[in-house]
Chains A and B, each alone.
Chain A
Amino acid sequence: MSPEQPLVRALNVHKAFGHVEVLKGIDLQVERGQVVCLLGPSGSGKTTFLRCINQLETFDGGRIWVDGKLIGYEERGGRLHRLTDKRIAAQRRDIGMVFQRFNLFPHMTALENVTEGPCQVRGVSKREAKLEALALLERVGLSDRAGNYPSQLSGGQQQRVAIARALAMKPKLMLFDEPTSALDPELVGEVLEVMKELAAEGTTMIVVTHEVAFARDVADEVVFMDGGVVVERGTPAEVLGAPKEDRTRTFLTRMRSEHHA
């Protein structure tokens, strides 16, 4: 293991739901501090792949390492052993996730949502967690909403609380699963703004998104997926500016026309 080893390394990841193969050999490398955007039509497998990285889905083939550690399994005596639920939970502590539909805990205030992880999982004292949480809520521009329940917040505010909740675990890696797809168009900007700041601060991020403009401005690498395979990858200028593959071009044309409609 060299010190320059990538934070995330996925090799030949396969996954099938019954007879439907949704991932057919995905490779991916994410260096520390990099932002990788996964683009592609719905059903292309990008969300499934993202969920494999923190084991919300199991995969049937290939390997994923995060920070040099194999995810979900352990190699002992030349055989792979499935990790227990407890050890998978421990692996997830270092990987933050933001969901399309926010999934905030509705019975807790914004502040309690953010302190829940540190208090329950990392064993941080209530007082310390509260101070950290207030700082995080301030960072996402919601310090005045700490006492509100999710139902009293707009979609954009809920998603920003969800980002603060994930950051509270001090993750090495942040996964975003279409974080703006469930938002009203006028609320998308505030969430993307927070994500841009995170990227600028050097957070390692993998973002599944339909926001082509965000990928162009923020991503270090853009990966275009379709039908369970990586069709094309490269810098935003390469993939978005001068796509080589027909499928990428068709997708981008459609996305752009939808945006202007």
Chain B
Amino acid sequence: MSAQPPVSADGQAGASAEERPGRIEAVPVRHPGRWVAVAVIAVLVAMFLHLLLTNPVFNWPFVFEAMNQRVVIEGFIYGTLLVTLGAMVVGVVGGVILAVMRLSPNPVLSGVSWVFTWFFRGIPRLVLLTFTGGIGALFATGLSIGVPFDFLLDRWFGTGELRLFTLSQTEINVLVGSIFGGIIGLGLSEAAYMAEIARAGILSVDRGQQEAAEALGMTRSQTMRRIVLPQAMRVIVPPTGNEVTAMLKDTSLLIGIPVTAELFFQLRNIGSTTYQLIPVFVAAILYYLAATSVLMVGQYFLEKRFGRGFGSRMAPKPKAAAGAGAGAATGGAK
């Protein structure tokens, strides 16, 4: 863009000193670049629409037919939505507990939290889910909850078996092979990420807040629950929105377990039996976009709720949109 000649300020030279400058009627800066951009984008959009509308491979009627299949809808509700919800509940609750442990003065608790985060953040989710699905192989004789090394105690002291209850290998396989296994696997992985987010949130709260609460005679846990965490939520919610979006997409990894009651597996299944691959992929894209759009709206209201009392320092609307966009970017990297 070329620089415009400045509006000359010849008021002081010619006119009398008494004449006071009035309303400014300046020529605005021209933005020819914007019109070029509009033209280029318009052409690209037209080309894209041409592709969408005229290419027979898209087979739009089939897209909507595939989206309407009972197995697909069930896969979306159970495998995608329910697992996202369950894993996020496990992840958020676990993450907050891990963050509080990490910041605790007790070195054992903070060490355990660090190791948990190190372990679960270091494993790809597909690998973790595949391992979860196969974990039954470890327990050929079943899994018992009770006193460890009870066979030794029995040998030395004759205490007998000290076991509360036992799950058989078949029961374990059924359990981890269902969406329950997916919720646990994805939830533990999520807890590791949420721990870091919650920790950042807690650390963002001014130290004076804790002192003020303690000076009122509140205990450590009251201070955390009533004063620190509600303020930390303001910092925790936006990145958690990204995590939900990422989780929604990562439910497509349930095939690792393998759980088949899941959106993308069912759609791909339809695609491979009918040779209509592109239409089923488009159907999956539409489902995921619809779900993430709904999440963005929910995040907007959550941010508003936890931004109470912070006035103009919080600009919720653009932040929500930017957050979801960043989520799409980071989500793929996991």
Contact = CB atoms under 8 A, between A and B. Distances in A.
Nearest to A117: B216
Interface string A148-168: 011110000000001001100
Contacts of A104: 212
A21 B87 CA distance: 52
B154 interface: no
B212 A85 contact: no
Given A105-B227, A107-B231, A108-B309, A99 B208 contact: yes
B214 A56 contact: yes
Interface residues of B, number: 25
Contact of B226 (A86, A103, A106, A116): A116
Interface stretch (B217-225, B259-267, B323-331): B217-225
Contacts of A149: 308-309, 311
Interface string A73-115: 0000000000001100111110111010101111111000000
B231 A85 contact: no
Contact of A89 (B219, B234, B308, B313): B219
A108 B230 CA distance: 10
Interface residues of A, number: 33
A120 interface: yes
Which of B211, B216, B234 gathers most chain A CB within 10 Å? B216
A223 B230 CA distance: 40
Contacts of B211: 56, 99, 103
Contacts of B231: 105-107
B141 interface: no
A89 B211 CA distance: 11
DSSP class of B's interface residues: helix, strand, loop or mixed?
helix
A169 B216 contact: yes
B310 interface: yes
Nearest to A54: B215
Contacts, number: 80
A254 to B, nearest CB: 28
Contacts of A95: 215
Contacts of A169: 216-217
Contact of B216 (A86, A106, A109, A165): A165
Interface of A: 54, 56, 85-86, 89-93, 95-97, 99, 101, 103-109, 116-117, 120-121, 149-152, 162, 165-166, 169
Given A117-B216, A149-B309, A169-B217, 13 more contacts: A89-B214, A89-B217, A92-B215, A92-B217, A103-B211, A105-B227, A107-B234, A107-B306, A107-B310, A120-B226, A151-B309, A151-B310, A151-B311
Nearest first, the 7 closest Cβ-Cβ pairs linking A and B are: A93-B217, A149-B309, A103-B212, A97-B215, A103-B208, A117-B216, A92-B217
30 contacts: A54-B215, A56-B214, A86-B219, A89-B214, A89-B219, A89-B220, A90-B217, A93-B216, A93-B217, A95-B215, A99-B211, A103-B208, A104-B212, A105-B209, A105-B212, A105-B227, A105-B231, A106-B309, A106-B310, A107-B231, A107-B308, A117-B217, A120-B218, A120-B222, A120-B226, A121-B216, A121-B222, A151-B310, A151-B313, A166-B216
